[in-house]
């Protein structure tokens, strides 16, 4: 029987070491994948994961809702990535909202074109990742969170500490930019 995150957290609070081991093991690869794709630096991504784990163990008491452990963990990782960007790049805020205010009122994409369920062959996937890597960091972040952990728009807004409208805008621009990159590559 697979234990849920809340079950494992309850055991972890009672100093069960296996609980923490199982919990962190469940999220380690998605966390690393998010950091690596966002930062495009494998070494920095490992540092982000290490700091995220340490912060999670030390500050578990700040988690209000055990059901939101994954989004809380990714929120810590996202902040570590932002700090890394600020250390490495001092030219402006790479996570600034997009200049054009053409935020869609609703989420327009139907399930069929949703990248989360898009089934790909490996070659097509590699091509997709190459294009995703060309997106601006803010759009790449929103897209990765949406694809990797199936976070809702509200959760992505909480993780990245931006308004819901900004998340919608970033995803909208990300998909439009991907479409343009695909057409340009043909």
- List interacting residues with other proteins (CB under 8 A): 15-17, 20-21, 24-25, 28-30, 32-33, 36-37, 42, 45-46, 49-50, 53-54, 56-57, 115-122, 125, 128-129, 144, 147-148, 150
Residue 160 burial by Cβ neighbours in a 10 Å radius (0-12, 13-18, 19+): buried
Toward other proteins, which CB reaches closer, 34 or 95?
A: 34
Closest of 173, 85, 101, 166 to residue 135, by C-alpha: 173
Toward other proteins, which CB reaches closer, 96 or 124?
A: 124
Give least dist CB 175 to other proteins, A: 13
Toward other proteins, which CB reaches closer, 103 or 152?
A: 152
Rounded to whole angstroms, the Cα distance separating 183 from 170 reads 20
> Per residue in 164-174, is it b (16+ CB within 10 Å) or e — as a string?
eebbbbbbbbb
Give least dist CB 111 to other proteins, A: 13
Rounded to whole angstroms, the Cα distance separating 77 from 24 reads 13
Toward other proteins, which CB reaches closer, 55 or 164?
A: 55
Closest of 117, 119, 98, 122 to residue 177, by C-alpha: 98
């Amino acid at each position: 029987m697979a234990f849920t995150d809340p079950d494992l957290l309850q055991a972890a609070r009672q100093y069960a070491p296996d609980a923490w081991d199982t919990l962190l093991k469940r999220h380690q690869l998605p966390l690393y994948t998010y950091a690596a794709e966002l930062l495009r630096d494998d070494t920095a991504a490992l540092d982000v994961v290490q700091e995220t784990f340490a912060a999670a163990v030390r500050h578990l008491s700040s988690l209000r809702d055990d059901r939101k452990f994954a989004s809380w963990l990714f929120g810590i990782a996202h902040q570590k990535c932002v700090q890394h960007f600020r250390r490495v790049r001092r030219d402006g805020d790479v996570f600034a909202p997009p200049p054009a205010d053409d935020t869609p009122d609703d989420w327009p994409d139907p399930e069929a074109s949703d990248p989360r369920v898009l089934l790909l062959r490996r070659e097509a996937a590699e091509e997709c990742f190459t294009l995703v890597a060309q997106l601006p960091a803010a759009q790449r972040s929103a897209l990765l969170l949406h694809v990797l952990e199936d976070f809702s728009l509200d959760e992505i807004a909480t993780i990245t500490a931006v308004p819901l409208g900004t998340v919608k805008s970033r995803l909208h621009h990300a998909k439009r930019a991907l479409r343009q990159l695909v057409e340009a590559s043909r």
